[in-house]
Amino acid sequence: MSFKDAARAACVSRAFRHSWRCHPNLICCIGILGSDFINKFDRIMKNHSGIGIKSVKFQYNSFYNTRRSTSISHHFDSWHQIAITPWIEELTISLSLSSFNMEYSFPCSLLADGRASSMRHLYLGNCGFHPTINLDLRNLTRLHLINVHITGDELGCLLSNSHCLEQLELMYCNGIICLKIPSLLQCLSHLEVFDCRILQVVENKAPNLCSFDFGGRQVQLLLGESLRMKRLSLHYPDAMYYAHAKLPSNAPNLETLALECSTDKMVDTPILPSKFFHLKCLTIDHTIISSSPAYNYLYLVYFLDACPSLETFLLGISQNHMEHDSIIGDSSHMRQMPGHRHDNLRSVEITGFYSAKSLIELTCYILDNTVALKYLTLDTTRGFFSCSTGEHDRCFPMDKIMITEANRAVLAIQNIHRAKSSFHGQAKCCEALQPLPCC
């Protein structure tokens, strides 16, 4: 029902007027209320009783100049005061990215004195948040802060009053230098931290953390003995090195590991200090930032050998330079690594596959040392969208150099096929994905 229709109905129906005055779910969005949404929504909020509100979502997607920011902030505070009651369970406040928004700070006093005692989910986006008092967030289970100006100490004050917290997500929070997760967060199971620019240290003492996603600049990760950690995702240039040097001992029970890194050389640590005895799925997305032909994928053998329970291996390769030691025309001196049988590896997928000799050597190693391999996919199209899936009309555009290298990679795959007599008998499903001529 439109705003005008609702107003007309409220004028003639006391029952309808009572229903929307006590409606448990409130959504304020500039796209719904129009350009003069402030006056309209102000009337709505002032006529709402505040009783029984369970979910409130404010999306301020307008772009106002800073001269009006004071009066608009006053309206925001008034609406939030009406909406935040002891009954509220979910609060979402998301401002647009105009210059005015960062001048608005959410009033922390609204979360004190029992007003937010029932709140379970708090989402704040593009504003300031500076808790310095004891907040009553005894039932909060999910906290999402996106582009929120908050310091590490202020966040610590917030976390110390959120004993039931299960999920914590921080993105673009550029006021945090040191993120400390206290041991009192016994229920915390998922932590996500992305692109917090000045962050230097992440220290976790929560004993039951089982999932951690981190992306951005390299920081000091102090995970402690994360015995319950099952899934870890790291997105920063030297993620591979950290995984080699620290993870097996800090998170010995990992089952899923995803690494996204961009380096000019493969980590050449021959032997990992210990093993990932429980790791079942390994994903590595590698961006090559150097044209050096000495880039050696065969070192990944040591990583695979440290994962005796591995079932799925996904390797994604992205590169801007195509200079490398190609196997085409020179298949001599193929290196072989000492074999360690992988009895559990069933699925291998390499996207961005090309004709580099070390990548061919890695593929041959996998074929020679797996006995249960069922699916092998060598994708020369970089893994982007393709018309062969039926979901798109055209394949992802590739320039002439990329297409030429993709065709060379197909020839390399054919050479592997001929060289490995057991290739078809070993793998149940083998695919070589290449650019389609029609695209």
- pLDDT tens digits, one per residue of 147-181: 999 999 999 999 999 999 999 999 999 999 999 99
Max avg pLDDT among 74-78, 114-118, 372-376, 400-404: 372-376
DSSP, residue by residue, 41-89: HHHHHHH---TT--EEEEEE-----GGGHHHHHHHHHHHHHHH--TT--
Domain annotation covers residue 299 = yes
19: Cβ contacts below 8 Å, ≥ 6 apart: none
Q: Are residues 160 and 287 in the same domain?
A: no
Q: Which neighbouring-strand residues pair with 169?
A: 144, 192
Lowest mean pLDDT among 40-44, 241-245, 294-298, 400-404: 400-404
Domain annotation covers residue 214 = no
- Helix or strand or coil: residue 2? coil
pLDDT band at residue 97 using 50, 70 and 90 as cut-offs: low
Domain boundary pick from 149, 165, 181 = 165
Domain annotation covers residue 66 = yes
pLDDT score recorded for residue 88 = 87
pLDDT band at residue 392 using 50, 70 and 90 as cut-offs: low
pLDDT score recorded for residue 354 = 83
pLDDT band at residue 424 using 50, 70 and 90 as cut-offs: very low
Q: Are residues 295 and 421 in the same domain?
A: yes
Cα(92)–Cα(89) distance, rounded to whole angstroms? 10
Q: Are residues 286 and 149 in the same domain?
A: no
Q: Is the pLDDT of residue 15 over 70?
A: no
pLDDT score recorded for residue 322 = 55
Task: Give the closest residue to 384 by CA, choosing from 394, 372, 374, 375.
Answer: 394
Cα(68)–Cα(72) distance, rounded to whole angstroms? 6
How distant, in Å, are the alpha carbons of 101, 135, 154 from that of 206?
Answer: 33, 20, 18
pLDDT band at residue 140 using 50, 70 and 90 as cut-offs: very high
Angle, helices 357-368 vs 400-419, to 10°: value is 30
Q: Are residues 161 and 290 in the same domain?
A: no
Residue 133's domain spans which residues?
1-165
Cα(138)–Cα(115) distance, rounded to whole angstroms? 11
Give me the number of domains the chain comprises. 2
Q: Are residues 287 and 153 in the same domain?
A: no
- Helix or strand or coil: residue 198? coil
How distant, in Å, are the alpha carbons of 46, 73, 74, 118, 205 from that of 68?
Answer: 21, 9, 10, 34, 44
Q: Rounded to 5 degrees, what angle do the CA atoms 239, 143, 96 make?
A: 90
Domain annotation covers residue 243 = no
**pLDDT, greater one: 88 or 393:** 88
Domain annotation covers residue 317 = yes
- What rounded mean pLDDT belongs to the chain? 78
- Intra-chain end-to-end CA distance of the chain, in Å: 47
Cα(434)–Cα(386) distance, rounded to whole angstroms? 10
Q: Is the pLDDT of residue 267 over 80?
A: no
Domain annotation covers residue 187 = no
pLDDT band at residue 133 using 50, 70 and 90 as cut-offs: confident
Domain boundary pick from 165, 189, 221 = 165
pLDDT band at residue 231 using 50, 70 and 90 as cut-offs: very high
Residue that the structure tokens 């069933």 belong to? 346
pLDDT score recorded for residue 155 = 96
The rounded Cα 132 to chain-centroid distance in angstroms is 29
**What is the b/e burial string over 143-156, where b = at least 16 CB atoms within 10 angstroms of the residue's CB?**
bbbbbbbbbbbbbb
Domain annotation covers residue 434 = yes
Cα(82)–Cα(74) distance, rounded to whole angstroms? 13
Domain annotation covers residue 265 = no
329-380, pLDDT tens digit by residue?
555 566 666 767 899 999 999 988 888 888 888 988 998 899 899 988 888 8
**pLDDT, greater one: 431 or 108:** 108
Residue that the structure tokens 């949404």 belong to? 37
Domain boundary pick from 142, 165, 188 = 165
- Helix or strand or coil: residue 239? helix
- Strand locations in 307-383 (E): 312-319, 347-351, 375-379
Q: Is the pLDDT of residue 289 over 90?
A: no
Q: Is the pLDDT of residue 136 over 60?
A: yes
